[in-house]
Amino acid sequence: GHKYYEDQLHKRIKARNPRIEHATYSTLTAVKESLPVVSKPESNNVIDWTVALYINQMRAKVLTLDQKEVDSASVENFRNEAITALSKFHNSDGGFAWFDGMPSSERITLFFLEKLAQLRDFGAIEFSEAEKKLVESAVGYIDERIRETYSRTGYNSFNFIDRFYVRSYYLEHQMKGKASTAFKEFLSETADGWQKIVILNKARLAHILLNCKETDYWNKKFESRIADLNASLKDYAVVNPTIGCYFPNAVMPFRGLMNSEIYAHAKLMTLFARLGEKDMVDSLALWMLLQKHNQAWENTVATTDAVHALVSSGAKDLKLGAVYYTYDTVIDDVKPAANEIEVACEFVRASDSKTIKDGDKLNVGDEIIARYYIKNSENRSFVRMKAMRPACFYPLDERSFFFTGFWGEFYKEQHESLTNYYFELLPEGNLTIEERFYITQEGTFSTSLVEIESLYANEYRGHTGSMKIISK
């Protein structure tokens, strides 16, 4: 019904005005297609090779699910190359070193195990004998780290929740001795200690408890604990019917290899999917897909984490449409307009701070301050503001340069008749930018327009109106 109505509406609009263009696209499809074809990493280190293997297998699986052609031979050849390379960073203690010759890193080993578990559980990989040996040895290394820290004075199991989180995905490998004791004590202590941990760790804890089902570690009391964690996480969620659901403090105060905004929301989405919280999954998916629509994500790992969460959770796609209308008119007749990004312009005489109104008379030699007021509804990547100026204005500073401020940064590009401002990231909220000019000519001039638009999604844009100024 909706599709038929939409198609008929497009046809009617197009018939009445052929200059109107309409574009429709699937955001989920765009996200999937953003997964790159991998190549040998430029830097020979375990993180880059793990990421390359992760993307290679995940991309192949997603394409297969979408019934698209996959070069299976190339995928398998790269997989073998990656495993061979990763083996060179695998130390005798079972852990992985960042670079060949360095000592084992627990964080990097956890990263390797987590990505392999995601691939396995998603059906993107079935471990070969070589991969089984690497995984089993790495799990043994983590168990040894658990035993070592458990014996220390002042040991607090909640400081190592990420360790138990990854380890819980490999419970088919038996934990022995103090490692098993430490894990059991951790599970017992979570009865009361979980209330004070951060959002991402609450999600990890819920995953841990779910992973214990059908194992010797499972306790019926975990069901109520999982329900409490679910309720607590939903309390922290910011839910908006327009932009979806998100957790603004999910990764505060630290960010890292296994602790980024997209990573955290991916873990939350997969958790809610496991708990049958379909509304939360779809709401998180809406927020995540809008982030992709408006921003460049942190890196290819974040993109792959998001694709894994969206596809494995069965999240609802976000269909976006945009109508573009191009027309010609006299610049003085243009009225201010905006869609999610607004810009307003104010001219002020520097000598007396008087705001200049339409038709005001100025003098040659006056110094004028132009203030551009930007109001942005969402964080957006790659935004350009084009500030055209009256022909009688000459900039005090003719340079093009890169500017960094407390709120962010932009590149200012000077041209003869306008100034371009390029923002790699334009933050949500209000922002004011100033530039100064001298009046150099007599006459009546139009101020022209100030335009701002997302280069990532052109429908998000705005512009000012125009006015006349008289100089003598």
Q: What DSSP letter does each residue of 137-197 carry, written as one string?
A: HHHHHHHHHHHHHHTSTT--GGGGHHHHHHHGGGTTS---HHHHHHHHHHHHHHHHHGGGS
Residues 60 and 129 in one domain: yes
Residue 110 domain flag:
yes
The CATH number of whichever domain residue 361 belongs to comes to: 2.60.40.740
Last residue of a domain, one of 268, 294, 320: 320
Last residue of a domain, one of 290, 320, 350: 320
Q: Which residues have C-beta within 8 Å of that of residue 233, sequence separation ≥ 6?
A: 199, 202, 203, 206, 247, 268, 271
Residue 18 domain flag:
no
Q: What is the number of other CB atoms lying within 10 angstroms of the CB of residue 42? A: 7
How far apart (Å, rounded) are the C-alpha atoms in residues 210 and 203? 11
Two tokens, residue 313: 């959770």
Residue 161 domain flag:
yes
Residues 312 and 372 in one domain: no
Structural domain of 421: 332-471
Residues 340 and 309 in one domain: no
Residue 454 domain flag:
yes
Q: Are strands 443-446 and 319-325 parallel, antiparallel or unpaired?
A: unpaired
Residues 51 and 123 in one domain: yes
Residue 85 domain flag:
yes
The CATH number of whichever domain residue 132 belongs to comes to: 1.50.10.20
On whether the CB atoms of residues 297 and 263 are closer than 8 A, the answer is: no
Q: Which residues have C-beta within 8 Å of that of residue 227, sequence separation ≥ 6?
A: none
How far apart (Å, rounded) are the C-alpha atoms in residues 49 and 83? 8
Residue 5 domain flag:
no
On whether the CB atoms of residues 75 and 108 are closer than 8 A, the answer is: no
Q: What is the number of other CB atoms lying within 10 angstroms of the CB of residue 11? A: 11
Q: What is the four-CA torsion angle of 197, 190, 145, 126, rounded to 10 degrees?
A: -90
Two tokens, residue 328: 């010609």
How far apart (Å, rounded) are the C-alpha atoms in residues 373 and 390? 18
Residues 98 and 119 in one domain: yes
Residues 81 and 202 in one domain: yes
Residues 362 and 307 in one domain: no
How far apart (Å, rounded) are the C-alpha atoms in residues 250 and 201? 9
How many separate domains does the chain show?
2
Residues 142 and 219 in one domain: yes
Last residue of a domain, one of 297, 320, 343: 320
Residues 292 and 395 in one domain: no
Burial of 204 (0-12, 13-18, 19+ CB in 10 A): buried
Residues 313 and 456 in one domain: no
Residues 390 and 287 in one domain: no
Find the helix or strand (DSSP H, E) in which 129 lies: helix 129-150
Per-residue tens of pLDDT for the chain, all 472 residues: 445 545 555 566 566 666 555 555 566 777 777 787 888 998 899 999 999 999 999 999 999 998 889 999 999 999 999 999 999 999 999 999 999 899 999 999 999 999 999 999 999 999 999 999 999 999 999 999 999 999 898 888 999 999 999 999 999 999 999 999 999 999 999 988 898 899 999 999 999 999 999 999 999 999 999 999 999 999 999 988 878 899 988 876 555 778 888 899 999 999 999 999 999 999 999 888 887 777 666 567 888 898 899 999 988 886 655 555 566 777 778 889 998 899 999 999 999 999 999 888 899 999 999 999 999 988 887 899 999 999 999 999 999 999 888 777 899 999 999 999 999 888 889 999 999 999 999 999 998 899 999 876 777 899 999 989 888 8
Residue 11 domain flag:
no
Residues 303 and 156 in one domain: yes
Residue 215 domain flag:
yes
